[in-house]
Structure 1
Amino acid sequence: MMLRLSALAMIAASPAWAAPAGKPFFSLYNTDLIVLMAFIIFIGILVYFKVPEKVSGLLDSRAVGIQSELDEARRLREEALALHASFERRHAEVKDDAARIVEKAKADAQLAAKQAKDEIEASIARRLKGAEEQIASAEAAAIRDVRNKAVAIAIAAAGDMMAKQMDADGNDALVQKAIASAQEHLH
């Protein structure tokens, strides 16, 4: 490649283009020739000290470094994609778990509501039974009170009637009869 560049530089520096007016081509007055010779010497020094191979080696090592960086980036990208996929799977699992938890909570809430309803119905039934028992007890007490009052009134009425119909001799006869009955039972 360097040889091709050198040949191209020589053709570009042909005497027709480089010669100043009235001066020979190969003279120190021709600056183009001086520049061309310096360039050729510079290229020769670069080739002698193997600079193109060193530059090529540096470029190759740089290319290897870039390739290793690209490989590392590709590996990191694949790891990131795998990690992203695992996060997506985990997200889906968490979402499914959350849906199951919500469904279980709904079922538990419905069960708790049914149990509360059953307990309320049982409580209402117990209270109704207690109220019915209290009503029956109050009714029995009222009937007993009415009977007791009726008996008391009947006794008082009978006593008044007997008091009106009895005289002192009838009272003595009743007392004597009661005493005789008591003596028979005692002996």
Structure 2
Amino acid sequence: MFFAESEFWVAVGFVILMGVFAYVGVHRTVLKALDSRAARIKAELDDARRLKEDAARVLADYKARRARAESEAADIITSARADAERIAAEAKAKMEDFVARRTRSAESKIALAEAQAVADVRSAAADAAIAAASSILSQTVKDKVADQLVTKGIAEVRQKLN
């Protein structure tokens, strides 16, 4: 009865199959395959860990490079601002110097023109005074004495007024 049941024969067949597998060494082949698969997975995990560490190093390197580049950019901007301020100050100083020179030049031209105008006025006044004196003396003083006085006076007036 116990032998008539199918579960019993399935169990017997299973035990015989396992015995044949043990005799042939299937368990060693399966364990070897599992061990090789475990070794391959371990190698892949080690490679993945190494790649992760490499990626972390590369990321840290790029972060450091970015920080240096940002620092250099900030230095360049600061330097450019300083240069721009210096150039602006130089341009302002040059412009002020140019304006001062032009002002001095204009003032000297004005002074020269003023001096020329004063000289022209004196000359015109001297000519008028000479003409008036000449006219008055020619009417009041006669002959040679008059001519000498007029000539001498005109020479003196010209000398003193010019």
Is 1:134 matched up with 2:109? yes
Partner of 1:51: 26
User: Deviation of residue 95 (structure 1)?
Assistant: 2.2
Q: d(CA) in 1 for partners of 2:98 and 2:109?
A: 16
Partner of 1:94: 69
Partner of 1:26: 3
For residues 1-187 of structure 1, the aligned pairs below 5 Å read 24-27=1-4, 30-165=5-140, 170=143, 174=147
Partner of 1:20: none
CA contact (8 A) 2:3 2:9 kept: no
Q: d(CA) in 1 for partners of 2:125 and 2:38?
A: 126
Q: d(CA) in 1 for partners of 2:76 and 2:136?
A: 88
Task: Report which structure shows greater RCO (CA 8 Å, sep ≥6).
Answer: 2
User: Deviation of residue 53 (structure 1)?
Assistant: 1.3
Q: d(CA) in 2 for partners of 1:158 and 1:174?
A: 12
Deviations 1:138-179 (A, max 9, x none): 101110111121122112222332443366xx27x849xx9x
3-state SS of paired residue (2:126):
helix
Q: d(CA) in 1 for partners of 2:26 and 2:117?
A: 131
User: Deviation of residue 117 (structure 1)?
Assistant: 1.9
Unaligned runs of 5+ in 2: 152-162
Superposition misfits of 4+ residues, deviation over 4 angstroms: none
TM-score (norm 2): 0.79
Q: d(CA) in 1 for partners of 2:88 and 2:147?
A: 77
CA contact (8 A) 2:21 2:27 kept: yes
| Distance of aligned partners of 1:134 and 1:174 in 2 relative to their CA distance in 1, 3 Å threshold | closer
Cα RMSD for the two superposed structures: 2.4
AA of the residue aligned to 1:164: Q
Unaligned runs of 5+ in 1: 1-23, 179-187
Moved more, 87-96 or 131-140: 87-96
Deviations 1:76-99 (A, max 9, x none): 111111112222222222222222
Q: d(CA) in 2 for partners of 1:174 and 1:92?
A: 104
3-state SS of paired residue (2:62):
helix
Deviations 1:28-83 (A, max 9, x none): xx222222222223223322332221111111101101111111111111111111
Identical positions, percent: 40
Moved more, 86-95 or 121-130: 86-95
What number of residue pairs does the alignment pair up? 149
TM-score (norm 1): 0.69
Q: d(CA) in 2 for partners of 1:133 and 1:62?
A: 104
